[in-house]
């Protein structure tokens, strides 16, 4: 199945306890596209300024990512995010967000993009997410991600789009913040009551919890000794998760569970280096090998007392 993503392509300034960079390639749609492209072709819809060079665009090259939908605005700057982490790498502190080209972005989908089977509304202004959704022709799966920035600044628009999607991929802290409810399960149920069938809650180093109307599935994060920069882990997870699902003929509960593992596998690579540096090095065989390691990690035998 074809997959269409709209979200940010960005420059990030990042500081972790282990190092810092001033201008690294980032953005929700960037991490998503590269991760999903291991499994399925991706149509990317986003915007950059003329400070985004051919060298920067090389991140998409040699992969089944169609960048025809990546608009370039001359005389303007690419989206910029600056974030910092302390030793608790689960908590990102935003130091600066400059929307730049995104402030004026009006996405127009081509007829081919409108026919996408899977739509991912990556973290970006919820009003833009809605504009893109309205232009598509009934995708089989519509999924969405967001963050505290939009919960605080555009809560109503966010609730409107929550009501229109099948699946939400969201951080644990943001589930609580959106519903103003400290109990995660209660907050999750309240979001599902708005309409989505599935909620996939990202819990940083504690892994992922998927909740549907009548079931729950939880996996830990892959235990790494070498976690360097958590930026993009969430978007990479979403890319691996939806990219894998889009590559399957049927979208059953079994495939959903496998997809959660592939998303977790991809995210575990992203955090090993700054930006997309590690993701750009790996191959399908690295992914396969870590998928098997994940199976061993979570496997246990049946037992009756
Ligand atoms: P995450 O997967 O949650 O770590 O996402 C990190 C990426 O999100 C970074 O590369 C940022 O460029 C991007 N980002 C940060 N804030 C925003 C925002 N308000 N809207 C869209 N993208 C953002």
Backbone angles phi, psi at 269, to 5 degrees: -75, -45
Closest CA to 50 of 28, 78, 22: 78
Contacts of 230 (CB under 8 A, 6+ apart): 16, 85, 89, 90, 92, 204, 271
Domains of the chain: 3-298 (3.40.1190.20)
Residue 28 beta carbon below 6 angstroms from any ligand 1 atom: yes
Closest CA to 107 of 129, 85, 86, 92: 129
Q: Which of 5, 6, 10, 154 to mutate to test the pocket of ligand 1 (most atoms within 8 A of CB)?
A: 10
**pLDDT digit of tens for each residue in the chain (305 aa)?**
889 999 999 999 999 999 999 999 999 999 999 999 999 999 999 999 999 999 999 999 999 999 999 999 999 999 999 999 988 888 889 999 999 999 999 999 999 999 999 999 999 999 999 999 999 998 999 999 999 999 999 999 999 999 999 999 999 999 999 999 999 999 999 999 999 999 999 998 899 999 998 899 999 999 998 889 999 999 999 999 999 999 998 899 999 999 999 999 999 999 999 999 999 999 999 999 999 999 999 999 999 99
3-state secondary structure of 144: strand
Distance in Å, CA 264 to ligand 1 centroid: 18
Q: How many CB atoms lie within 10 A of CB 115?
A: 15
DSSP category for residue 290: H
Q: Which tokens sit at 290? A: 């870590």
Closest CA to 133 of 49, 195, 217: 195
3-state secondary structure of 201: strand
DSSP bridge pairs for 25: 11
DSSP bridge pairs for 144: 121, 168
Residue 238 beta carbon below 6 angstroms from any ligand 1 atom: no
Contacts of 91 (CB under 8 A, 6+ apart): 85, 173
Instruction: Write down the pTM of the prediction.
Output: 0.96
**Taking the C-alpha atoms of 269, 272, 276 and 282 in order, what is their torsion angle to the nearest 10 degrees?**
-40
Residue 100 beta carbon below 6 angstroms from any ligand 1 atom: no
Taking a C-beta distance cutoff of 8 angstroms, is the pair 42, 65 a contact?
A: yes
Closest CA to 35 of 239, 245, 211: 239
Residue 32 beta carbon below 6 angstroms from any ligand 1 atom: no
Whose Cα sits closest to atom 6 in ligand 1? Answer: 232
Taking a C-beta distance cutoff of 8 angstroms, is the pair 143, 164 a contact?
A: no
């Amino acid at each position: 199945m074809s997959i269409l993503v709209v979200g940010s392509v960005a420059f990030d300034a990042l500081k972790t306890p282990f190092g810092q960079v001033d201008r690294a390639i980032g953005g929700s749609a960037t991490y998503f596209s590269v991760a999903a492209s291991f499994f399925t072709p991706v149509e990317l819809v986003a915007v950059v300024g003329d400070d985004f060079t051919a060298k920067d665009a090389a991140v998409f090259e040699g992969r089944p990512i169609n960048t025809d939908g990546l608009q370039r605005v001359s005389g303007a700057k690419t989206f910029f995010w600056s974030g910092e982490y302390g030793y608790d790498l689960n908590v990102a502190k935003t130091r600066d967000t400059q929307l730049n080209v995104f402030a004026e972005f009006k996405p127009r989908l081509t007829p081919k993009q409108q026919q996408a089977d899977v739509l991912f509304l990556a973290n970006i202004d919820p009003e833009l997410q809605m504009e893109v959704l309205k232009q598509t022709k009934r995708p089989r799966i519509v999924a969405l991600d967001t963050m505290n920035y939009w919960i605080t600044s555009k809560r109503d628009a966010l609730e409107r789009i929550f009501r229109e999607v099948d699946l939400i991929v969201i951080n644990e802290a943001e589930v609580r913040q959106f519903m103003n409810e400290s109990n995660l399960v209660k907050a999750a149920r309240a979001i599902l009551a708005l309409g989505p069938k599935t909620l996939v809650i990202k819990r940083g180093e504690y892994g992922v919890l998927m909740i549907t109307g009548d079931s729950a599935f939880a996996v830990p994060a892959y235990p790494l000794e070498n976690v360097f920069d958590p930026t993009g882990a969430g978007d990479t997870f979403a890319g691996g998760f939806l990219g894998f699902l889009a590559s399957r003929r049927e979208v059953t509960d079994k495939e959903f569970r496998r997809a959660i593992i592939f998303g977790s596998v991809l995210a575990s690579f992203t955090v090993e280096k700054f930006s997309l540096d590690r993701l750009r090095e790996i191959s399908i065989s690295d992914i396969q090998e870590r998928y098997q390691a994940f199976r061993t990690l979570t496997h246990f035998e049946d037992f009756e007392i």
